[in-house]
Every structure is written in C-alpha cells, then in structure tokens.
Chains A and B, each alone.
Chain A
Amino acid sequence: MTTANAWPAEAVAETGSALGAVMDQLGKVILGKDEQLRLCIACLLARGHLLIEDIPGVGKTTLAHALARTLGLSYQRIQFTSDLLPADIVGVSVYERESSEFRFHPGPVFSQLVLADEVNRATPKAQSALLEAMEENQVTADGRSYPLPNPFFVVATQNPTYQIGTFPLPESQLDRFLMRIELGYPDASVEKKLLTGRDRRDIVAELAPAIDTETLTAIQTKVPEVHASEALIQYLQQIVAFTRESAVFAAGLSPRAAIVLLRAAQAWALMAGHRGVVPEDVQAVAPAVIAHRLRPRDESAPQTPREIGEFVLAGVPIP
C-alpha cells in the first residue's frame, strides 16, 4: 500500500517506529497472518476487544500470547469450560481469619491481555461475567468496584461449529467485540515452516517487549484524533445506510457500529501512516468490524465476514 503525504515528524517517529517494531516482531512468530495481526493491533489501538472464530489448532493461543509478550502486557488465559463460574473469571471475596474481613482476590480477568479461550464452552452466566467486565472496564464484587488494568484487551476465541454442550455467544452480545476475525489455515510454505521450525510456543516465551505500555496508551489516546474528512464521514454514513436499506440483512448497522467502524479505521490509518482516514482504511477494517453485527436474511445472502464485507463495500460507491 502506498503511503501518503508526510506525517508530522514526531508522530512518525513515535507511532511508525513503535508499531513497525511490533509488527516486525509479531510477523516473525506468527507466520503468514500479517493482515490478521494488523487487525489485532488496530483493534487494540481502538480500545476494542477481539473475537477470533476458528477451529482449534490454528494458532489462536499463540497469537494472543505473542501479542502480550510483544506489547509487554500482563497476560492471562482463561480456558472456558462448562463448569466455569463467574467467580473463576472476575475473582472472589474470601473471608480472612487474621483480619476478620472479606478480601477480594482478583480473578484472571485482571490482566492487560486476557485470552478467553473457547468462550462458547461456558454457560451464558459465565460468558456474561466476562462481557460485563469488558463493557464496564471494571469488576463489581460485594458492592465494590475494582477497575481493570489499562490497557485492557480481551481476545476471545470461539469454535464456530455447533456442538452439543456449547453456547455460542448470543447475537446481541457479539457487538461487544469490536472485531471478529478468522485465522484460517496456513498456506503450504508457512505450514512447512511450522512443521520444520522450532516450536512456536518456545519462540513466544523468549519474546521481549517491543513497545512500552506508556507509548501504547499514548497511541490509543491519539486514535480518535486522526482526521476524518467530510468526504470520509459521508462514505461511512453511506455504508451504514446501505446495510440498513439493503434487503440482504435483517437489520442494519447501529449508530454504535458506525462509531466503532470509524475508530477502527482511524487506528488502521494511524498504522498505515495516513494523515487522515482514507476509504481504504475503512475497507481494510470493515469486514472484521461489521460482519458480526449484521444478520443475513437468508441463505442466499453473503454469509462469511469476507463475503459480507465485499458485498457491502462493492455496493457503496466511494464519493
């Protein structure tokens, strides 16, 4: 992709080099998944959460772990199971004999990067505990609220196939996630490298942070400031209007969806080094941002995120 005009000097230094280093390092560990990696970072920069829908074994866990290591974030993995309790996620208050009072023991959710693995295996009750934490950025227990760390980034994975004893996230909850992506099978050359090379998990364990938390949060705060011109806002509105008026979808994008689409596009523009958001930035993030918020009317409508994205983007002319 061509990069556009000069970016203010200090911003280039700050974001460009920082994000460049992150991407470089991640690219070495997660092979052949550049686009997904970029989306992950964009999602994180836009202060959103990520849902990865894919079959087990394509590297979801490795990706999340590598992200945490590279970004220098504290990392917890929660394996969702059918007997997982909400307390297992958010934490529990325990009575301490010495002080004779309840003390809150924070759960695994109190990490900067939380991998919620196979989130659909847990009961809706447990799922909603996580989703509530994501929504409110804090955990409430025994009438007290405990703020979650900053940055706070949830990567949830879900097995797409319907299996007995799973509870897919309800549609109404899906839009808590800024993006939903698929990792997909690696291509042949990558697969060969995976087979012949070192164990990815070992490599990940050795990774050192490529960026510090202050820089990361600074970039996060800068995302909403990325310029979105009148023409671009118009393009976004047309996308939203298209989904609302199209016969293909049962319901169109909500106003909140429009806002997060803009945020994601701004994050992407920042990563691409654009001084303002261009239509390609919107197009790059659109499939991941809008697909899980749209419900195809029937089987003839586009189904996969890629299909949905292509359908919408091809239907909306760029002004």
Chain B
Amino acid sequence: MNAATQRVDSARLGWTIACLVAAAAPHLANLPPWPMALMLLTILWRIAAQRGHRQLPGVVIRLLLALAGFAGVFVSFGTITGLDAGSTLLVVMAALKLTETRSVRDLIVLLLISYFLIVTQFLFGQSILVALYSIPAIWIITTALLQVSSPAVAMPWRRAFSRSGLLLAHAVPLMLIAFVLFPRMSGPFWAVPRSDNSAVTGLSDQMDPGSISRLLESDAVAFRAVFDDTPPPASQRYWRGPVLSNFDGRRWSIFQENDRELLPDSVSRAGDPVNYEITLEPHHRNWLFALELPNPAQLPRKTTMTADRRLLRSDPVTHLYQYRLESWPENIADASARRWTLSRDLNFPAERNPRAQALVRGWAESASDPADVVRQALQLFREQPFHYTRAPRPLDQRHPVDDFLFSSRRGFCEHYASAFTLMMRAAGIPARVVLGYQGGELNPFGRHMTVRQSDAHAWSEVWLLGRGWVRVDPTAAVAPERVELGVAGALPAGEGLGLFRSSAWLRQVQFGWDALNNGWNQWVLGFAREEQRTLLRALGMKRPTVRKMLLTLIGLATVTLSALAGWLMLQSRPAAPDPLAILYRRFCRKVSTIAGPRKPGEGPLDFAERVATARPAIATEVHAITRQYLAARYFPDPPERCVAELRRQVGALRT
C-alpha cells in the first residue's frame, strides 16, 4: 500500500498522540509514574521533530531507551510478566514506538496499542467512571484510526467524529448480543497472579490495636447484599469474616491449621432461613463474608466451610464476585466442637498483660458458671468509665490489654474485642476474635444493603458448654448504639464520619450512586458464567450450553449484520426522490401498460401525448396529471397543495 508508507501530517500525528494520552492516562493511578514520564518525553520529542526542531532519535538511542525501559520494568516489579509489569511494558513500548513514527503504518500501530491500553485499564478497575471514561476514549481512537488509515481523504475532524460515531453506534447492538451470549469460562486459562503491592482497603487476617479504626476512614464499599425477603434486624447483621485464634499478647491472627478442618455437613437448623446474594468487591483474600449460619449444603462453587465456620474460596477474590447463601441467623449454636479444637482457643502468652489475667482469675474462682464470667466482664465495660472512640491514645507495646483495661479505657471495637477475648481465655473459657462487618445500610433506591469498610467490626465468640460457640460483642456493652445505629451513631460528637454522613441530600446522592453501582456490579461486572446461564434461562433458552450459546450468537449476529447491510444497501441506492417525483413515477408505472414505460429521456408532455394517443379514453386525466406535475415542477409559483392534488389524481386514475 502506498498509503501506508506515506509520511504523517501534523494533524494526524497530533490526534494519535491525543489517543495515546487518553488511553494511557488512567494508568497513572495504577502504575509507577516513570513510564508516563517516559511517554511525555517521547511525545515532546516527537512534536519537536515534527516541527523540525529536532531529529528523531537514531537506532542506538532507541535501542538504549528500549533496554532502559525493560530494565525499569524489571526493577519496578521484579518481573516483566504479570498485569502490572505487562501494562507498564505496554506503556513503555507505546512511548518508544512514538520515537520511530515516520509513516502512517506506525501511527496505526500506536492506535492499536491505544485500544489495548484501554482494555488493560479495566484489569485494574471496572467502575462506572472508568467505563464512562473509556467511551469517549474509544471514540477518539476510532476517529483517529479512520483519519489515519485514509490519508488521502481530507475530512474535517468534526465529520470524522460523526462518521466514526456512526460506525460505533452500528457496532453497539452487535456488541450487546455478543456480551450476553458469548459463553463465559468457569475459570482462567492460566494463573493470574496479581501482585499485592497495591494496597486494598479492607480487613486483614490479623488484628492489633488501631487496625479496624483505620478502616473507618474509608467509605469504600466492602460488599452489597440483596435479601430475597425482609433483611434481618441490625442486631443480627454480623457478617462473619476471618476468625482469629492466635494471640501474641498484642496481635490476634489466624490459626492456619483451622483452614484445613471442614465443618461436618450435618448442622442443626433453627428459625427461619434468610436467603441473600452478596456482591463482593475484590479484596484479594480467600474468605467470603456471611451471616450466621450459612447452609453448608448450598455453598458457592469452589468454596468450603471450615470448622470455625468461615467460608473459604479456593482462589482469592480478585474480581467482583457474586454468591448466594442461605443462613439461619438464630442458629448461632455450635456444640459440635471437639475438645482438641477448643484447646487452641485457650492459649495466650502468660508473661504479657499480667494484671488482666489476675483480675479474671479472681472472677473465675468465684464464678459458678462460665456465663457468669462473661457477664462480669461485660459489666466491667458497662460500669467502669470506658469510652467508645475512634481515636484512642496509643497503648503500651508490651502489655496493651493491661494498659487499656486499667489506664486508657478508651478504645474502638478491636480494643474491646481483644481485651474481652483475652479475659475469657484467662478465665479458662475458649474464646476467639471474629473480624467482619456489622450492620449495613439499606439503599432506598435499590432495595439492596451496602456494607462499607467503615462498617468493619471485631467481636468475640466464647464456647459455653452445652451451647457451643456464642457471639459476644463487648463493644455493644460500651456503646449499644454501635449495633443499632452503626458507627456514626455510636461515635461521640465531633468524631463524625465526614461529609456524606451528615447532610441529608448528599446522603440521597450517595444512596443513588450506590444503587447505580450495585446495578452495574450485578448486571455488567458480575455477569459471569452462572449469571449468564440464569439470564439465558430467563430469556427462554432451555439448558444453555456453550454450543447453543454460540449458535444463537452467530444467528443473532447474522440477523443484525443483515439488517445493517440492508440499511446500507438502501443508502447506496440512487438518492431518494422527492414526493413529486415518486408520484409521477407511480403515474408512469400505472400507464406503462398502455404505451410501454417512459423512456429515461422522454419528457412528461411527450409521454402524455403518447399515452393519450394510445388510449384516448383517459386522455383528459393523463393531460390533467401531466399539467399538475409540470405546474408543480417546472412552472413559477407552484399551486398550493399541488402534491396532494397530484396524489389524488394519480390515485383516481383507472387504466
């Protein structure tokens, strides 16, 4: 192609650079800044070259830059594969390609890279805003592709935008069909390790003083839940996450062995079940959140339930993940625990927090019943001047529980849960810390419940003989409002949770936005294998199989493309004539049986004469129609309503 090797003009180069910038810009949030700096440098260099100020770099410099780019990626990530390193490499390559753009073909390569950058951007985040951003970006790239690939067509950019807009608009129905019908895979083709260097806000698998109150800052959504029926009351909405059994005197952490023990399938059931669906934001952990007590027989795929009643997934949740559960909120008992399991929930370092141990030992000796110890501990929190606050003073490193119980007495849920659980263990009662979320906000627009990072909570479970594991929330003893009203309602005045929690209408805006996001998550992002099959079944496809889906996809795509082809064919026909011409043509067709069709170069008068001679019976009508047509088409001041009159006359003509 001679066109492909043509030199590039400034406008096309400029738009290509704009496309590259538009496609790479979102990666500023995901990738280290140096590839962007490199791209900026090559852009400036290329512009300077276009203006004749500089030469484009030679082979040596380009080679050095390429080596530096690879080295940079390797230094930044320790690898050149994987999502982050790969995306960075793509940006680096685009930046370097810019230094050797001499022909139209090079610009096209850049535009294709831009398309690819848009897609890689989704691997880092798929929010509505990202999607909205990508629409104009794709439009610009497509427009630039249209202009760059037709170097000889001098089209104003406005027009090019409308042409490419037309193409994209025509492509959208096809895209929707493919989106719904293209069979989704159940899992990845190859492992997709995602390096964890990007900090994700969320619960971790350990707890020390301050680890939960930090989450309070985040308004980010942890997950959303939709209940089939009425949601359970706030006091029952304890979304269980990690269970921490290890204690080192300050930090609680997961006891890894627990992961391997599975809960026996037989679980006693009590009360009415609650059915709900959770759309979990990716948190890159294996655990799922659930209300007490999930039915082990109806777990999501690739999910198991451990003996301490956690839901564990075989892969970390790296994408938005939807799952359905059935829980019995009233059935909090679990008497089936075996002694040797319980023993690990009694361990604590004896040399740390001695005062707390001493205090509890006193209770245990006098108490008749472990439940009495629990009561005494809660009473301590309730009656002594303990305060619920998000900003307590730092605690002593060596004996944090002692410091909290006897000196600071100001703390957040993790302080209370930590102190309470230690006290129970010191009293010989098996106890553990549970992390999760408590509460959640029912969205008035979407009937779904939004649970945010700020709803993160820590509480305790104690094992009581005959009752099994019982949930005890020591925070509730200090601040009962925490359970009923949520964090914002429980915190003292002046420790509010920012703007959104205060203004009524901003709250409405937030609810609306959240509802939108929930719909987006459910219908777009969470549209995976199961959802696809459910939707297709709802649309009437019995037993959707991959084969059936593909055949339907091909069929529908063919129909859509045929419709498009038909429309385009109409466009390529001779220009649509005006109503006058259509009417006259109709007249000619009507009388063509009499004297043959009108020849292309035959005037209306001559034709009328020919017809009238061939059939004098209708001569008057034929001449009248011809007069009307001539008057409308060729004579000055065409009579009013001449088209309607002509229509009537032609309609009334009987041959």
Contacts and interface: CB of A to CB of B under 8 A. Distances in A.
Nearest to A278: B634
A279 B601 CA distance: 9
Given A229-B633, A276-B635, A278-B634, A2 B608 contact: yes
Interface string A269-298: 000001111111001000000000000000
Majority DSSP secondary structure for residues of A touching B: loop
A276 B601 contact: no
B609 A4 contact: no
Nearest to B638: A229
Q: Pick from B581, B602, B627, B634 the residue with the most CB of A within 10 Å.
A: B634
B606 interface: yes
Interface in B611-641: 623, 626-627, 630-631, 633-636
B604 A278 contact: yes
Contacts of A276: 630, 634-636
A315 interface: yes
Contacts of B609: 1-2
A316 interface: yes
Contact of A5 (B581, B601, B608, B630): B630
Interface in A18-52: none
Contacts of A318: 600-604
A315 B603 contact: no
B630 A4 contact: yes
A275 B581 CA distance: 20
A315 B601 CA distance: 7
A314 B605 contact: no
Interface string B584-612: 00000000000000011111111011000
A227 B605 CA distance: 17
Nearest to B580: A231
A227 B601 contact: no
Given A277-B634, A280-B605, A4 B627 contact: yes
Contacts of B634: 227, 229, 231-232, 274, 276-279
A283 B603 contact: yes
Given A280-B605, A319-B581, A314 B600 contact: yes
Contacts, number: 69
Contact of B630 (A278, A313, A317, A319): A278
A319 B605 CA distance: 14
A313 B601 contact: yes
A5 B635 contact: yes
B595 to A, nearest CB: 15
A32 to B, nearest CB: 21
Contacts of B630: 4-5, 274, 276, 278
A317 B626 CA distance: 17
Contacts of A315: 601
A317 B600 contact: yes
A232 B635 CA distance: 10
Contacts of B623: 2
A238 B623 CA distance: 26
Contacts of A232: 634
A2 B636 CA distance: 18
Contacts of A274: 630, 634-635
A191 to B, nearest CB: 28
A278 B605 contact: yes
Contact of B636 (A1, A227, A278, A313): A227
A281 to B, nearest CB: 9
A317 B623 CA distance: 21
A231 B633 contact: yes
A279 B603 contact: yes
Given A232-B634, A278-B634, A2 B626 contact: yes
25 contacts: A1-B609, A2-B605, A2-B623, A4-B605, A4-B627, A4-B635, A227-B634, A229-B635, A274-B634, A275-B635, A276-B634, A276-B635, A278-B630, A279-B603, A279-B604, A279-B605, A279-B634, A280-B603, A280-B605, A283-B601, A314-B599, A316-B600, A317-B600, A318-B600, A319-B581
Interface of B: 581, 599-606, 608-609, 623, 626-627, 630-631, 633-636
Given A276-B636, A315-B601, 19 more contacts: A1-B605, A4-B631, A5-B635, A231-B634, A275-B631, A275-B635, A275-B636, A276-B634, A278-B603, A278-B605, A278-B634, A279-B603, A279-B605, A280-B604, A283-B606, A316-B600, A318-B602, A318-B604, A319-B581
Q: Which 5 pairs between the two chains have the least Cβ-Cβ distance?
A: A317-B600, A279-B603, A276-B635, A227-B636, A280-B603
